[in-house]
Amino acid sequence: MRWIEVAPAGATTTIALAPPGGGATGVDTGIRLSTGNCEADHRALGDAGADVGEIVRWPGVPPMFSLHDPDGNTLYVVEQPAG
């Protein structure tokens, strides 16, 4: 089996992109992607046609939104506090 690992320049963590293996689709992956600007990424992804949920803002929790891949799997984009 082959796969591709992707990461931003200088990152220590990668994401593996692999062909479907016959497992369940439409699941919450539990994957959290961090960003420095939740609103800008939400806008850019939405403008590009990605299936994004609304930005969620809870007291004491960083802004975040859900992102769905073409198979309906859910990932999350979470803003990291500056500092």
The predicted model scores a pTM of 0.76
Q: pLDDT tens, 25-52?
A: 889 988 899 999 999 999 999 999 999 9
- pLDDT-derived band of residue 15, with 50, 70 and 90 as boundaries? confident
Q: Residue 19 gets which letter from DSSP?
A: -
For residue 38, how many other CB atoms are within 10 A of its CB? 20
| Tens digits of residue pLDDT in 48-69 | 999 999 999 999 999 999 999 9
- Which three-class secondary structure state does DSSP give residue 41? helix
- What integer pLDDT is reported at residue 83 of this predicted model? 65
Cα-Cα-Cα-Cα dihedral sign, residues 12, 80, 41, 50: positive
Domain 27-83 classified CATH 3.40.190.10?
no
Strand pairing partners for 4? Answer: 17
Helices (H), the chain: 38-47
Q: How many CB atoms lie within 10 A of CB 79?
A: 21
